[in-house]
């Protein structure tokens, strides 16, 4: 007997900024699961990470690269604390929110089962006044591989995987990776039917100061990228990666909106992005 073909999953990314309503999003995920949907949840944790660092008297330093970009540095000590926040706090709160709604959920970071594999970025060239110095302690990476087999086994067993950074390199080093890019990589690798990114804003605005300037839908990510500011640029970059990888639609919407995931998928809220762009190579394991 041939195996039964499984429906394409959904990937739901819960932002980590202040004001993100995790419980509201998990209620929608629970309803999707009740409808028979396969769902992978990805969580960030920027606010939780910064709060834990502050409580320990630590901070992530900002530095100017030789090319003029400002980066937040992640060394071994800060990544250890960030991992505590992302994995031990936010990820487990998402798992518990799903369990409380009757949804079997399995939380993991990139190192667990090597579910997220990344390439460590090269040493940074930092501008220190008039001098340029090399920083070899920065632990940041770019996603290269998703263990789709493991995620598939979990979903086949009725579980909802809840995945978060950090990722792991081929030589076993933990590295910080952007959670939006994690969600995009997972969506592309699994052939997801949609990627939904929840944050503390209504979607992409033509004018960030005007909440009525919401862009409801676009099939040209490159064009609307010019409207993105701050963290929204990361979400548009993630949408571009997911769409290029074959995901049919990417959505950006507010986590606090009524039925945020369901309304985004129905085209009733947030910004919907689609594309007929060229496909990229499979990122699966």
Quote the CA–CA distance of 41 and 25 in Å, as a whole number. 10
pLDDT of residue 96: 98
pLDDT of residue 5: 65
Sign of CA dihedral 120, 121, 124, 125: positive
Q: What are phi and psi of 219, to 5 degrees?
A: -105, 15
Tens digit of each residue's pLDDT (9 = 90 or more) over 199-227: 999 999 999 889 899 999 999 998 998 89
Quote the CA–CA distance of 91 and 106 in Å, as a whole number. 10
Q: How confident is the model at residue 142 (pLDDT cuts 50, 70, 90)?
A: very high
**Element (DSSP H or E) covering residue 24:** helix 22-34
* List of residues 6+ apart from 80 with CB closer than 8 A: none
Which has the closest alpha carbon to 175: 90, 242, 78? Answer: 78
- When pLDDT is averaged across residues 55-68 and rounded to a whole number, the result is 87
Domains defined for the chain, CATH in brackets: 10-273 (3.40.1160.10)
Q: What is the mean pLDDT of the chain?
A: 92
64-92 b/e (C-beta count within 10 Å ≥ 16 → b)? eeeeeeebebbeeebbebbbbbbbebbbe
Q: Give yes or no for residue 78 having a pLDDT over 90.
A: yes
Residues 40/14, Cβ–Cβ less than 8 Å: no
Question: Which is more confidently placed, 178 or 17?
Answer: 178
> Tokens at residue 103, please?
């949804």
Q: Give yes or no for residue 169 having a pLDDT over 90.
A: yes
- Which among 18-22, 98-102, 224-228 has the top mean pLDDT? 98-102
Residue owning tokens 């909440």 = 211
pLDDT of residue 229: 85
């Amino acid at each position: 007997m041939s195996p039964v073909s499984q429906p394409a999953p959904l990937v739901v990314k819960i932002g980590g900024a202040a004001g993100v309503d995790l419980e509201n999003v998990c209620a929608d995920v629970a309803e999707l699961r009740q409808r028979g949907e396969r769902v992978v949840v990805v969580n960030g944790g920027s606010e939780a990470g910064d709060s834990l660092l502050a409580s320990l008297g630590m901070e992530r330093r900002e530095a100017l690269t030789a090319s003029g970009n400002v980066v937040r540095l992640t060394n071994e000590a800060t990544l250890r604390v960030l991992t505590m926040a992302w994995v031990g706090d936010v990820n487990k709160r998402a798992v518990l929110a799903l369990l409380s709604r009757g949804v079997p959920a399995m939380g993991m970071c990139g190192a667990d089962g090597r579910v997220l594999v990344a390439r460590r970025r090269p040493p940074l060239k930092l501008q220190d006044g008039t001098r340029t110095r090399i920083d070899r302690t920065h632990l940041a990476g770019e996603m290269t591989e998703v263990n789709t087999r493991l995620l598939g086994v979990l979903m086949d067993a009725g579980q909802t995987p809840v995945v978060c950074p950090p990722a792991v390199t081929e030589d076993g080093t933990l590295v910080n990776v952007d959670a939006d890019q994690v969600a995009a990589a997972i969506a592309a690798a699994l052939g997801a039917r949609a990627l939904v990114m929840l944050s503390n804003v209504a979607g992409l605005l033509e004018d960030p100061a005007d909440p009525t300037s919401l862009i409801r839908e676009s099939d040209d990510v490159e064009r609307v990228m010019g409207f993105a500011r701050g963290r929204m640029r990361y979400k548009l970059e993630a949408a571009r990666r997911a769409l290029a990888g074959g995901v049919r639609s990417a959505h950006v919407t507010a986590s606090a909106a009524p039925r945020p995931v369901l309304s985004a998928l129905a085209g009733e809220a947030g910004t919907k992005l689609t594309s007929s762009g060229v496909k990229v190579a499979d990122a699966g394991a």
